[in-house]
Amino acid sequence: DQQVKQNSPSLSVQEGRISILNCDYTNSMFDYFLWYKKYPAEGPTFLISISSIKDKNEDGRFTVFLNKSAKHLSLHIVPSQPGDSAVYFCAAIVNRDDKIIFGKGTRLHILP
Amino acid sequence: KAGVTQTPRYLIKTRGQQVTLSCSPISGHRSVSWYQQTPGQGLQFLFEYFSETQRNKGNFPGRFSGRQFSNSRSEMNVSTLELGDSALYLCASSLNVAGGQETQYFGPGTRLLVL
């Protein structure tokens, strides 16, 4: 049973526009959610996290929104830049388990 | 500060063989986690070690094992390799036990191909 789902395998966005990456989850016990970015042939890089007690966290061009009632979170990148082209993984943690569960990733293409 | 290093970067094995992968965390980091990445399953958590003790384990068979040394370096072993074990194996380190507020730093991975 997939607890963290990224239903869009890929997304193409024009440079300068907003990129919105979505993630759904099924486990209401998740304490934290994280987003990672991965370039080919490199390990994932931590981007931004959000606690389950918050509904928004912002860091520069990256903002994560959490809708607990809908069990949905999204990552907004504004404005999108060519270097943002990568695979983005959504991940979730139940703190007492200290186990990170990842979604399958969404490949973001930033178009010139 | 040097990042997380993994050796070897690429490995080709045949079915039935065993393999050992190595991970050196960032200096001072005490937690090392291992993940498997495949195109079909995405990133999956294997296990986490902290201060030489396995803290947690994902849903993988007993053929997958690991250990951590006193210098926090970690090794992962896969015995009786199967074709489905072909994947990118990623190691990540963090200062303390991985959690929502603890940033993990990933290595470049070891790409294992089982023939």
Quick one: CA dihedral B41, B99, A24, A8, positive or negative? negative
Closest CA to A51 of A71, A69, A33, A76: A33
pLDDT at position B32 is 94
- B14-30 residue pLDDT tens: 999 999 999 999 999 99
Q: Is the peptide bond before B25 cis (omega within 30 degrees of 0)?
A: no
Strand, coil or helix: what is A90? strand
User: Which residue matches tokens 């495949």?
Assistant: B38
pLDDT at position B112 is 94
For residue A84, the 8-state DSSP code is: G
User: Are B30 and B95 spatial neighbours (Cβ–Cβ below 8 Å)?
Assistant: yes
Helices (H) and strands (E) in chain A, counts: 0, 11
Nearest CA in chain B to A51: B100
Give the CA angle between residues B89, B91, B97 to the nearest 5°. Answer: 140
Quick one: CA dihedral B21, A106, B114, A2, positive or negative? positive
Residues of A in contact with B51 (CB under 8 A): none
pLDDT at position A97 is 60
Strand pairing report for B10-13 and B110-114: parallel
> Cα(A89)–Cα(B105) distance, rounded to whole angstroms?
14
| Residues lower than pLDDT 50 in chain B | none
pLDDT at position A28 is 87
Query: Are the Cβ atoms of A98 and B48 closer than 8 angstroms?
Result: yes
Nearest CA in chain A to B111: A41
- pLDDT above 80 for A11: yes
Residues of A in contact with B99 (CB under 8 A): 32, 93, 95, 98
pLDDT at position B1 is 59
Query: Are the Cβ atoms of B103 and A101 closer than 8 angstroms?
Result: no
pLDDT at position A99 is 67
> Cα(A68)–Cα(A105) distance, rounded to whole angstroms?
21
- The rounded percent of chain B whose pLDDT value lies above 90 is 63
Q: What does the block give as tokens for B95?
A: 């200062």
pLDDT at position B76 is 97
**Chain A closest CA to B106's CA: distance in Å?**
5
pLDDT at position A95 is 64
Q: State the CB neighbour count (10 A cutoff) for residue A110.
A: 21
- A42-95 residue pLDDT tens: 777 788 888 889 999 999 999 999 999 999 999 999 999 999 999 999 998 876
**Chain A closest CA to B40's CA: distance in Å?**
8
pLDDT at position B16 is 96
pLDDT at position A107 is 93
Strand, coil or helix: what is B57? strand
Residues of A in contact with B108 (CB under 8 A): 41-43
> Cα(B113)–Cα(B115) distance, rounded to whole angstroms?
6
Per the prediction, chain B carries an average pLDDT of 89
User: Which of A98, A101, A102, A107 best probes binding to B when mutated, by most B CB atoms within 10 angstroms?
Assistant: A98
Quick one: CA dihedral A97, B48, B53, B15, positive or negative? positive
Query: Are the Cβ atoms of B100 and A101 closer than 8 angstroms?
Result: no
- A12-38 residue pLDDT tens: 999 999 999 999 999 888 888 989 998
Q: Which residues of B touch A (CB under 8 A)?
A: 4, 33, 35, 41-45, 48, 55-56, 58, 90-92, 97-101, 103-109
Query: Are the Cβ atoms of A98 and B98 closer than 8 angstroms?
Result: yes
pLDDT at position B101 is 56
